Amino acid sequence: MKRKTYNLETQYLEGEPGKPLLVFVHGMCGGAWIWDNFVEYFSSEGFPCFALSLRGHGGSGGAGLFRTHLHSFNDYVRDLEIALSGLSGRKPVLIGHSMGGAIIQRYIELHPNDASGAVLLASVPRSERNARRACKGKVIFRLLGSSNPALSAFAVLGVRRIPGLMKSKCCNYLDADSAKKFAESMSRESLCAALQIAFGRIYREPKFGGQPPVLVAGGSLDYLFSSDEFKATAEYYGSEPVIFPDICHEMAIDPNWRAIVDAIRGFLDDIIDNKR
C-alpha cells in the first residue's frame, strides 16, 4: 500500500567545500528545533547542516490529534529517505537522537553506501533483546511521559508534558523556565510508532555488506537507556561508545552539550582525514 507523504519542515545552512553535510534527525516528540545548538556550532565551523522535522512534528505536515497516531516507524524512515533524495547524491553524516538514532540505523541498513558516517546519541539500542528488555514495562511508559500507564495514555493523546517530569527525568540540569519551554515545544508522538519501537522488530540485518563508521554516545544519567545498552550498540558496529558523565537523555539541549559536539567533531575530523 502506498503511504501518504507530507511536506516536511527543514532547515539548511551552507558550509565550506570539502566538509561533509551533517543531517540531524530528532527523537520522539521533538523537531528540527531541538538541534539549534548543534546546528549553530557546526555551521560556524564550516559544516553544511540540514535538520528536518519528521511528519507530525514541528512545522511538518501530518499533525493532528488522531492522524499523528497513524504514523509508523517506517513512515519516519521514509521521511528521511525523501529528505536525503533531494541532496544531489551527497553522502552525509547522519546524526540522530533517541528514536532518530533508530531511524538512522534502519536507514543505513537499507542504504549502507549512502552515508559517510553516523552518530547515534542516546539511541534506541541496536540489540533486539536489549531494546525489548529496555522497552517492555519501562521505556514505553517513560517515552510517553510517565511511569504511570494512565498518565502515559493522556500524554500520548496530546496533553502537554509535565515540565517537572521532563526536568527531573530527561534533562535534570535545565532550570525551571528552560524545562517549561522545552516541554511546551514538544509535539504529540505517534502511538503506532511508539508501540512498534517498544514491542516490534524495527531493525533488520543489512541487505548488503559494509556500513559507514558509527559513533555511539550516551549519558551516564540517561533515564531511558543504560550505559550497557550503549556499549552493546557500539559493539555491534565495531566501535567503542562514548559515555558522558552527568549528561541526561536529552543530549542536544543538555547544558553540557559542548562536550558532545567536541566528541562529534573529532569523529568528523577522522572521516575527513580518511577521505584525503
Per-residue tens of pLDDT for the chain, all 276 residues: 445 567 899 999 999 988 999 999 999 889 999 999 999 999 999 999 999 999 999 888 888 777 777 899 999 999 999 999 888 778 999 999 999 999 999 999 999 889 999 999 999 988 655 444 444 444 444 444 444 444 444 444 444 444 445 555 566 667 778 777 777 788 888 888 888 887 777 887 665 567 899 999 999 988 888 899 999 999 999 999 999 998 988 899 888 899 999 999 999 999 988 876
**CATH number for the domain including 109?**
3.40.50.1820
Helix (H) or strand (E) holding 215: strand 214-219
How many distinct structural domains can be found in the chain? 1
pLDDT of res. 22: 98
Residue 248's contacts (CB-CB under 8 Å, 6 or more residues apart) are: 170, 171, 172, 173, 219, 221, 222, 223, 254
Range of the domain at 244: 10-128+204-275
Q: How far apart are CA 188 and CA 185, in angstroms?
A: 10
Q: How far apart are CA 276 and CA 233, in angstroms?
A: 29
Tell me if 155 is assigned to some domain: no
pLDDT of res. 176: 75
pLDDT of res. 200: 72
pTM check: above 0.75: yes
Tell me if 162 is assigned to some domain: no
Q: Which three cell numbers stand for residue 33?
A: 528545533
Tell me if 158 is assigned to some domain: no
Q: How far apart are CA 231 and CA 55, in angstroms?
A: 30
Tell me if 135 is assigned to some domain: no
Q: Which three cell numbers stand for residue 256?
A: 553540557
Tell me if 237 is assigned to some domain: yes
Tell me if 171 is assigned to some domain: no
Tell me if 223 is assigned to some domain: yes
Tell me if 270 is assigned to some domain: yes
pLDDT of res. 201: 77
